[in-house]
Amino acid sequence: MTLMETLESPVTTTAGPLDSAEILARAQALAPELRTRSEEIERERRLPADVVDKLRGTGVFRMAMPRSLGGPEMTFSEQTRVIEALSTGDAAVGWCGMIGMDTWAYARCMPESVERSIIDTPDLITAGMIFPSGKAERVPGGYRVSGRWSFGSGITHCDWLIGGVLVHQDGAPEADPDGGAVHWRIIMGRPEQFEILDTWYTTGLAGSGSRDYQVTDLFVPEEHTFRFGESRGQGPLTARDAFLHNVAGVPLGVARAVLDHVRELASHKVERVTGVPWSDSYRVQLGIAQAEMDLSVARDAVYASLDRQWDRVAEGRAAAEDEQVSAAVSRVNAFRTARSIAIRMSDLVGTASIYRTSPLDRWTRDLHTMCQHILAQDQVLQSAGALLLGSTPLAPFPIGVKG
């Protein structure tokens, strides 16, 4: 079955157009139910089918759909607010929403016929790793692909599956069309064409179903492949790093859930030794205020950088290194600040936070796991510093520059 035939498969979708305000309102309305399903989601190590259907119903997967095709074409900040709202309900759902909505970003890099063919199914979900863990041997009409990829978040419920590859010709690595040493390309297929490996036994984000997957000698037509930098059209959503800009919504949403939970606890708890109500405790007051301060600063930095990025591209201005750096470091800071808040609030609550029945335990594990993602690692900070100093970034892609 071809990728185009995928589009004929039945997919639950929301009839009619949705604007950004409606999508955000639906995400906010779904969050409380997600909170009640979090233990189930973690236990199943995937999103239940009905949760996937409800997530599709919010419109999150069409956020980057071009306005010219009837989509909302939501700004970076608008997208991030939706992911943040979902993540206050459940981290894995927010993570899968963030990953799965990249369908339209990828479609813009493929032939226009592919993009137009999915107008009637705007809520398709994409999963997979973009980094080149596979090999694509060039053959007439396309590529023969073999490889194994990790971290296929949402792979248990996706419609499309992607994988990064290095293109070879006659067994030798092929140079990038722009003159680089290697040709990094993304291939796309149906999940049924790959072997999905049940490897996702993790500390946190268990419900994201981020399993490994592999394939051997799969033929992929040329039109079902793309590379970043080939997006059609203009505007912020065609930038090579456009799909990275809403990632911070997940840790920000989880941190908000942590603080709301502890503030609710404080409304009826008392200090065990002194009998002082938590609401009157200097220790609790100070701890919560400091955490709120840190979250506010981190959140404002993210949204300010997103708005600057959007406005710059929308106005047709050239990329500014300081703005690229601001977007990258504010994203790293959001991850790390959220994890710090979860740890500090667990310390504040004490032994009650160590039980699996406490959402603080799950949130702390979820944040620790997502902080291991490349977008939250020191190499992003090194790359930001190198860019500012005219040196060589170790991780150019996460800071929005070509390696």
Residue 242: inside a domain = no
Same domain membership, residue 254 and residue 198: no
Token readout for 59 is: 């419109």
Asked if residue 52 is part of any domain, the answer here is yes
- 322, 388 contact by CB (below 8 A): yes
Are residue 271 and residue 152 in the same domain, yes or no? no
State both tokens at 63: 């956020």
Q: Is residue 233 part of a domain?
A: no
For residues 66, 67, 71, 76, the Cα torsion angle rounded to the nearest 10 degrees is 70
Residues 105 and 25 placed together within one structural domain of the fold: yes
Helix (H, G, I), strand (E, B) or coil at 233: coil
What tokens appear for 249 in the block? 């919504």
Report which of 194, 248, 206, 208 is spatially closest to residue 51, judged by C-alpha positions.
208
Same domain? For 85 and 141 the reply is: no
Residue at which a domain ends, from 117, 151, 175: 117
CA 180 – CA 253 distance, rounded (Å): 38
Structure-token match 């591209």, residue found: 313
- The number of residues making up the chain comes to 403
Transcribe 108-163 into DSSP letters: TTS-HHHHHHTTT-TT--EEEEEEEEEEEEEETTEEEEEEEEEEETTTTT-SEEEE
Are residues 222 and 255 both part of a single domain?
no
Q: pLDDT (tens digit, 0 to 9) for every residue of the chain, 403 residues total?
A: 455 554 444 455 565 689 999 999 999 999 999 999 999 999 999 999 999 999 999 999 999 999 999 999 999 999 999 999 999 999 999 999 999 999 999 999 998 888 888 888 999 999 999 999 999 999 999 999 999 999 999 999 999 999 999 999 999 999 988 888 899 999 999 999 999 999 999 999 999 999 999 999 999 999 999 998 787 878 888 888 888 999 999 999 999 999 999 999 999 999 988 999 999 999 999 999 999 999 999 999 999 999 999 998 888 887 788 888 999 999 999 999 999 999 999 999 999 999 999 999 999 999 999 999 999 999 999 999 999 999 999 999 888 887 6
DSSP assignment letter at 270: B
Evaluate whether residue 253 is within a structural domain.
Answer: yes
In a shared domain, residues 262 and 385: yes
Kindly write down the DSSP assignment for every residue of 32-94, as one continuous string. Answer: HHHHHHHHHHHHHTS--HHHHHHHHHHTGGGTT--GGGT-----HHHHHHHHHHHHHH-HHHH
Task: Give the model's pLDDT for residue 401.
Answer: 83
Report yes or no on 298 lying in a domain: yes
The amino acid present at 323, given as its one-letter code, is E
User: Does residue 221 form part of some domain?
Assistant: yes
Q: Which of 195, 38, 243, 3 is nearest to 110 (CA)?
A: 3
| CATH label of the domain that carries residue 352 | 1.20.140.10
Decide if 232 is inside a domain: no
In a domain, 231, yes or no: no
Q: Which domain holds residue 60?
A: 3-117
Together in a domain, 35 and 169 = no
CATH number of the domain that 31 lies in? 1.10.540.10
Residue 266 tokens read as 């404080």
Residue where a domain stops, chosen among 65, 83, 117: 117
- Beta strand 184-189 pairing with 225-226: antiparallel
Same domain, 77 and 191: no
Distance in angstroms (rounded) separating the CA atoms of residues 46 and 149? 18
User: Looking at the structure, do residues 113 and 130 belong to the same domain, yes or no?
Assistant: no
- 169 lies in the same domain as 76: no
Report the domain count for the chain: 3
Same domain, 276 and 368: yes
Phi-psi region of 11 (alpha: psi -120 to 50; beta: other; left: phi over 0): beta
Residues 147 and 110 in one domain: no
Name residue 184's beta-bridge partners. Answer: 166
DSSP 194: S
In the prediction, which pLDDT does 179 show? 80
122 burial (CB, 10 Å; 0-12 / 13-18 / 19+) is buried
CATH no. for residue 174?
2.40.110.10
Among residues 117, 136, 159, the one where a domain terminates is 117
